[in-house]
């Protein structure tokens, strides 16, 4: 469990919060490029790390990511006219470019120089792999751009999606590094979901008492969960956690790799990013169809929004008959929403003083410890882990090893991203 002080330390992400300062040291996925489909298209509201911002693509195709509110009287620039290389406030015509610089104050003479003195907060933007990214930290501390292997694959080899999750980022992320719940919560889908069924991994998940081995890495943690396989062997699921919010899910058979990023919108909600990629082949039409209809780690969302169709307002369309029959263990359809429904059920920010943790929670305990250490170290001027490109060039994996072989040494190569080499999964 955590004290209230420590719980606040690792959950509060606003501009003045210590964790918020830490998270601003990283490049952040913000939008899908398709949300800003063309020059001068409508702007998009964005809530990120407790800040209200607006994104827009100007006449030249450049993306701006600036304070949502006009510097004049505080009108939301979401109402603005995106035209002629800037976003114009409809109230009195003040206009701002992609860097937040005021271009026009129509009521003031141009020769007064007043316009040049007005500038909104803005953040740098990079577009890559179908995502608009930003960096919100000190300019002199901006790290190199992320180097996850899926970023440089052809578009045909990956699927990127996002959804709104109505709870604090940490309880969502903690679910992403918890391998023990898979044997329970997802037990039905392991044998019915096309991206899991029929694999040895799904079979070996029947061992519901995994043992954990956790190794710190340069970027975060390597989390090994072992279960009994056939005689004298262990089935290993290796999850990667790369600070602060990236997780890589162990693969099943020859199916694609998967990962998440859990990015705080504010203290009580986050964006759950989902990434599926195969390092050596295009994703098949069947795989894409399955994922776009709520299979694997993906969900279907309401048209025009990123809110899941299954949400707390409709009780996630709980199917008690399916729960009772065993078709799904929880009664909620889909692996991702099974996780989200329970994480949201904890409340916006779970009270970790009430927890009773056990040995299978060791990865969660370690992640919290590393986050606390990182926050306190940053306050002393020490930059956090997970910033270097080399920290991102890793993979998750699943495999069987003899009981006396340590996974860290026996499968070290399999835990690195190797261009042109297929990942390891069973």
Q: Which domains does the chain have, with CATH numbers?
A: 38-141 (2.102.10.10), 149-415 (3.90.380.10)
Residue-level pLDDT at 82: 98
Residues whose CB is less than 8 angstroms from the CB of residue 218 and which lie 6 or more positions away in sequence, other chains included: 385, 388, 390, 391
- Statement: residue 236 has pLDDT above 90: yes
The mean per-residue pLDDT over the stretch 188-208 comes to 79
pLDDT 10s digits, 67-80: 999 999 999 999 99
Structure confidence at residue 97 as a pLDDT band (50, 70, 90)? very high
Structure confidence at residue 291 as a pLDDT band (50, 70, 90)? very high
pLDDT 10s digits, 150-160: 999 999 999 99
259 DSSP β-pair partners: 248, 275
Q: Which candidate, 205, 288, 216, 314, places its Cα nearest to that of 253?
A: 205
How buried is 319 (Cβ within 10 angstroms: 0-12 exposed, 13-18 middle, 19+ buried)?
A: middle
Which of the residue ranges 45-54, 63-72, 151-160, 173-182 would you say has the lowest mean pLDDT?
173-182
Residue-level pLDDT at 110: 87
Distance between CA atoms of residues 282 and 276, nearest Å: 11
The mean per-residue pLDDT over the stretch 167-173 comes to 98
Residue-level pLDDT at 145: 97
- Statement: residue 270 has pLDDT above 80: yes
Q: Which candidate, 73, 50, 78, 74, places its Cα nearest to that of 64?
A: 78
The mean per-residue pLDDT over the stretch 184-201 comes to 81
Distance between CA atoms of residues 139 and 131, nearest Å: 21
Both tokens of 238, joined, read 């290796």
Distance between CA atoms of residues 393 and 150, nearest Å: 10
Both tokens of 68, joined, read 């949502």
Q: Are 31 and 263 in contact (CB under 8 A)?
A: no
Residue-level pLDDT at 326: 82
The mean per-residue pLDDT over the stretch 11-38 comes to 98
User: 227: alpha, beta or left, given left = phi > 0 and alpha = psi -120 to 50?
Assistant: beta
- Statement: residue 425 has pLDDT above 80: yes
What SS3 string covers the chain? CCCHHHHHHHHCCCCCCHHHHHHCCCEEEEEEHHHCCCCCCCCEEEEECCEEEEEEECCCCCEEEEECECCCCCCEHHHCEEECCEEECCCCCCEECCCCEEEECCCCCHHHCCHHHCECCECCEEEECCEEEEECCCHHHCCCCCCCHHHHCCHHHEEEEEEEECCCHHHHHHHHCCCCCHHHHCCCHHHCCCCCCCCHHHHHCCCCCCEEEEEECCCEEEEEEEEECCCCEEEEEEEEEECCCEEEECCCCCCCEEEEEEEEEECCEEEEEEEEECCCCCCCHHHHHHHHCCCCCCCCECCCCCCECCCHHHHHHCCHHHHHHCCCCCCCCCHHHHHHHHHHHCCCCCCHHHCCCCHHHHHHHHHHHHHHHHHHHHHCCCCCCCCCHHHHCECCEEEEEECCCCHHHHCCHHHECCCCCCCCCC
- Statement: residue 195 has pLDDT above 90: no
| Percent of the chain at pLDDT exceeding 90 | 90
The mean per-residue pLDDT over the stretch 31-55 comes to 98
- The CA-CA-CA angle for residues 179, 426, 326, to 5°, reads 55
Structure confidence at residue 7 as a pLDDT band (50, 70, 90)? very high
Residue the block writes with tokens 């975060």: 220
The mean per-residue pLDDT over the stretch 345-371 comes to 96
Residue-level pLDDT at 197: 76
How many Cα atoms are found within 13 Å in the side-chain-facing hemisphere of 374? Answer: 26
Residue-level pLDDT at 101: 98
Q: Are 45 and 68 in contact (CB under 8 A)?
A: yes
258 DSSP β-pair partners: 249, 276
Distance between CA atoms of residues 79 and 84, nearest Å: 16
Residue-level pLDDT at 316: 98
Q: What are phi and psi of 328, to 5 degrees?
A: -135, 140
Residue-level pLDDT at 193: 81
The mean per-residue pLDDT over the stretch 297-317 comes to 97
Residue-level pLDDT at 190: 78
Both tokens of 166, joined, read 């109505």
Structure confidence at residue 402 as a pLDDT band (50, 70, 90)? very high
* pLDDT, mean over the chain: 95
pLDDT 10s digits, 381-397: 999 999 999 999 999 99
The mean per-residue pLDDT over the stretch 154-175 comes to 98
């Amino acid at each position: 469990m955590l004290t209230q002080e420590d719980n606040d330390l690792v959950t509060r992400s606003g501009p003045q919060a210590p964790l918020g300062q830490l998270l601003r040291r990283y490049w952040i996925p913000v939008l899908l490029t398709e949300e800003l489909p063309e020059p001068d298209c409508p702007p998009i509201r964005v809530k990120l790390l407790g800040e209200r911002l607006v994104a827009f693509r100007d006449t030249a195709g450049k993306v701006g990511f600036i304070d949502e509110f006009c510097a004049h009287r505080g009108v939301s620039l979401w109402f603005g006219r995106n035209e002629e290389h800037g976003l114009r406030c409809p109230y009195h015509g003040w206009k701002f470019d992609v860097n937040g610089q005021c271009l026009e104050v129509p009521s003031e003479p141009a020769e007064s120089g007043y316009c040049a003195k007005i500038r909104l907060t803005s953040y740098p933007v990079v577009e890559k792999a179908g995502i608009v990214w930003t960096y919100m930290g000190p300019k002199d501390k901006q790290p190199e751009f992320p180097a996850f292997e899926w970023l440089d694959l052809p578009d045909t080899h990956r699927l990127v999606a996002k959804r709104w999750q109505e709870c604090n980022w940490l309880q969502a992320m903690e679910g992403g590094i918890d391998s023990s719940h898979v044997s329970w919560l997802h037990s039905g889908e392991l044998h019915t979901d096309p991206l899991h069924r029929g694999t040895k991994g799904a079979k070996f998940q029947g061992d519901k008492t995994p043992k954990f081995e956790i190794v710190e890495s340069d970027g975060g943690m390597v989390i090994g969960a072992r279960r009994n396989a056939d005689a004298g062997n262990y089935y290993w699921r290796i999850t990667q956690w790369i600070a602060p919010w990236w997780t890589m899910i162990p693969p099943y058979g020859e199916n694609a790799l998967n990962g998440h990023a859990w990015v705080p919108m504010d203290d009580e909600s986050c964006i759950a990013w989902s990434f599926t990629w195969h390092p050596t082949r295009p994703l098949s039409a069947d795989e894409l169809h399955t994922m776009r209809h709520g299979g694997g780690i993906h969900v279907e969302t309401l048209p025009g929004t990123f809110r899941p169709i299954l949400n707390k307002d409709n009780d996630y369309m709980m199917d008690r008959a399916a729960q009772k029959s065993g078709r799904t263990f929880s009664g909620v359809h889909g692996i991702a929403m099974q996780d989200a429904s329970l994480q949201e059920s904890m409340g916006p920010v779970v009270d970790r003083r009430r927890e009773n943790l056990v040995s299978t929670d060791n990865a969660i305990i370690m992640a919290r410890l590393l986050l606390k250490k990182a926050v306190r170290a940053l306050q002393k001027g020490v930059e956090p882990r997970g910033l270097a490109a080399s920290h991102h060039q890793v993979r998750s994996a699943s495999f069987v090893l003899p009981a006396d072989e340590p996974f860290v040494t026996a499968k070290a190569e399999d835990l690195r991203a190797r261009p042109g080499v297929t990942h390891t999964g069973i």
